[in-house]
Every structure is written in structure tokens, then in C-alpha cells.
Homo-oligomer: A and B are copies of this chain.
Amino acid sequence: MTLRLDVTSDSMKLDVPSDLGMVGDAVELVATHLPPGTLSPRRISFNLRTALAEALGNAIRYGTGEDPRRTVRVRVELGSEFVRIHVIDDGAGFDHRRLPDPTHPENVAREFGRGLFVIRNLVDDVEFNEKGNGICLTLRAG
């Protein structure tokens, strides 16, 4: 299975089979082929990579149940002032407003529940589609 990134002057597109083993390579492919200039190398190599790995991991685990016949779509809008990454699965979605705070003393020692919290802290803006099976991460220039 070779991942193929489809690039135009203002977009990148990648379909990822629902397999957690693909997350690292998918993140690498997107991160290393972003045009230079908009995001600093440091934000690409840390913030973008981490946030995209989170979003992909969720879409694969919860959205598509790690079924490699199913696909998670990654769509990237390349602006001169921003990079916007959409991660869309074909699952049932979820309600992102009802998540416990992972930093609450009761939760700090839990193994799970930090993904969206981490995403929100690493990118400039997070939006969900109505169904909750599509997340959109915006990183502004800098």
C-alpha cells in the first residue's frame, strides 16, 4: 500500500486506508511536502505533525473502526496566510462539545481522552462538520 499525495497549486489531497500503522507515513507525506513560507519549519515539524496524527488516529479508530477497506480523507487548503487541514471519515461522528477536561485532577492519570485537547492547543482554529465526522484544523502563517 503506497500512499499518494495529490498536489495542486493550492491544495493537497490524500486518502488513507483505515489502518493505524499508516498514520506516521501519512503525516510525514503531508508535512514534508507542504510549500515553504507559510508555516515555520518548527510548527510544521511539531504542531502540524502532532495535530494531524491525532485527527487521523481518531478518524481511523473511532470513525472507521480500523477497517483497511475504509478510507479516511485528508484535504489540505494551502493559502499564503494559512494551512487548513480537513480530516474526514465516513463514520457516525460524535459530539465534540461533551468531552471531559483531561487536565482535571481526576483525569490527569487516565490513559485516554487527551486527543482533542492536544489538537486545540497546537493549532489556531478547530472546527467540526455538523455530523461530527469531519474535523478542520487551521494553522495560520508564522
Starting from the known contacts A7-B7, A33-B33, 11 additional A-B residue pairs (CB-CB under 8 Å) come to: A2-B8, A4-B6, A4-B8, A5-B6, A5-B7, A6-B7, A7-B29, A8-B29, A9-B25, A9-B28, A32-B35
- Closest residue on chain B to residue A10 by CB atoms: B2
A-B contact pairs, 12 of them (CB 8 A): A2-B8, A3-B8, A3-B9, A4-B6, A5-B7, A5-B8, A7-B29, A7-B33, A32-B36, A33-B33, A36-B36, A36-B41
User: Chain B residues near A9 (CB, 8 Å)?
Assistant: 2-3, 25, 28-29
B residues less than 8 Å from A34 (CB atoms): 33
A residues near B (Cβ < 8 Å) are: 2-9, 25, 28-29, 32-36, 41
How many monomers of this protein are in the complex?
Answer: 2
In Å, the complex CA distance between A28 and B41 comes to 20
A127 to B41, CA, bound (A): 34
A112 to B34, CA, bound (A): 36
Would B36 and A35 count as touching, CB distance under 8 A? no
Instruction: Kindly provide the distance from the CB of A44 to the nearest chain B CB, expressed in whole angstroms.
Output: 9
**Closest chain B CB from A119 CB (angstroms):** 24
> CA A2 – CA B8 in complex, angstroms?
7
A34, B32: Cα distance in complex, Å: 8
Cα-based distance from A34 to B33 in the complex (angstroms): 6
